[in-house]
A and B are shown apart, each in its own frame.
Chain A
Amino acid sequence: MGKKVCVLPCNGLDKSLGVVARNVALKLIEKNPDIELICPVLLNTGDEKYEELLKESDIIVIDGCMTRCATKLLDERSLRPGKKIFTPDMVKKYKLNPGKSLILDEEGQKLAEFIASEILESLKESEGEVAEIRELEEIEYFETTVDKFRFRVPKSGYYFNENDCWVKPMGKKALMGISDFLQNMASDIIFVEFPEIGLEFEQFDDIGSFESIKIVLQLITPASGKVVAVNKELEKSPELLNQDPYGKGWFVEVELKNFEEDKELLMDGPAYFEYMKKKIEEERKHRAQNIGD
């Protein structure tokens, strides 16, 4: 390991899957003494103990439920996780379900063991990984500004589904990503989760997610195909999804399977721009109503 690694788990005193998160962290530092443990409660007091460490480390965040306390603690310090584990995902992956007790049962112990091993493996793999840089051409946009938020839609070359995700075909291959509408809804995106390379998917499958403090959203594929690459740059700089969702914030590269047919259910730039403006307007009305209530 070149860079320092530290682990910030859920405190684990509310739910059993939080206890699992805490135990994963304990197993990690036991198996690899180079990894440093961050106590979430101490961090929350604003103690300076961890300040330097957090700045110079790759941070592994382990959340035990959707409240995502560990993620939030990090975000409050404007820091980004290098890796993120959500223990409910792991329950499904390893088919081990600890009961409700805060004293971990055998399944819970086993689950923590598996997750810790998985993290240690992934630390080995990520050494020496280099993000691919893709040159993208200049894009011409339709643009509208609502309440200081700018919404853009590329005039041509992009196709959209009603889930606000785009596909940009380039021969047999294509890039996919999210629209300005979706990134504005999410606000500051702090973490992305990619599909496996080689994954084959149908049109409208969900193949990856991105999250902000407000919400977790999924990429719903506008077309069918196979994942050939993911935008590794987003792991380091998830804010690219907010800043340049149609360019540097592309999410995955795919091999298209049946685009001519898939296209029938998609909108082109001008059609999506109209659709998006209506959606923004509805969103505004609902917000105004909610405030008025």
Chain B
Amino acid sequence: MSKEYDAEQETFMGVPRKKIPWFPTIDYSKCNFCMECDKFCPHNVYERRENEEKKLIVKNPYNCVVFCRACAKTCAVDALSFPDKREITKLIKELRKESE
């Protein structure tokens, strides 16, 4: 299922995907670069960097499926966080109203 979404055109619930700030943030003070999240995510959200200090980055944040937090479950050291779901739902509602 690995694929590159065309984030420019993607919408979620009628809202342009890029207007919804839903994606993981890596806490580098906790991350031990075990790469379990990257192995898990089928949407190419993460990218490994061989020769850099940050060996894993969030490369394609808008590939992330809104409301999915499944990768965080694979992280034993709890280094992945997502925005508050209620805030995001509220934002989507507002953006939907605006576009009506």
Contacts and interface: CB of A to CB of B under 8 A. Distances in A.
B85 to A, nearest CB: 6
A209 B2 contact: no
A267 to B, nearest CB: 9
Given A202-B86, A220-B67, A15 B2 contact: no
Interface in B49-67: 65-67
A185 interface: yes
Interface string B76-100: 1110000001101100110000000
A91 interface: yes
Nearest to B78: A92
Contact of A88 (B3, B68, B76): B76
B32 interface: yes
B65 A206 contact: no
A89 interface: yes
A32 to B, nearest CB: 27
B40 interface: yes
Interface size class of B (residues with CB under 8 A): 20 to 34
B47 interface: no
Contacts of B34: 15, 65
B7 interface: no
Contacts of A67: 39
B92 A265 contact: yes
Interface in A183-222: 185, 202-206, 209, 214-218, 220
Contacts of A89: 73
Given A205-B85, A220-B68, A162 B73 contact: no
A118 to B, nearest CB: 17
A172 interface: no
Nearest to B11: A162
A100 B3 contact: no
Nearest to A16: B76
Contacts of B65: 163
A286 interface: yes
A215 B70 CA distance: 10
Interface string A60-78: 0000011100000000000
For the complex, would chain B's binding face be called helix, strand, loop or mixed by DSSP majority? loop
Interface string B1-38: 11110000000110000000000000000001010100
A215 B66 CA distance: 17
A116 to B, nearest CB: 18
A215 B77 contact: no
A221 to B, nearest CB: 9
A100 B32 contact: yes
A196 B37 CA distance: 25
B13 A162 contact: yes
Contacts of B66: 162-163
Contacts of A265: 13, 89, 92-93
A188 B82 CA distance: 29
Nearest to B96: A265
A45 interface: no
Nearest to A92: B78
Interface string A213-254: 011111010000000000000000000000000000000000
Given A66-B74, A91-B77, A185 B39 contact: no
A233 to B, nearest CB: 24
A97 interface: yes
Nearest to A90: B76
A198 to B, nearest CB: 20
Given A216-B40, A220-B68, 11 more contacts: A17-B76, A88-B76, A162-B66, A163-B67, A202-B85, A215-B1, A218-B69, A265-B93, A283-B1, A290-B2, A290-B3
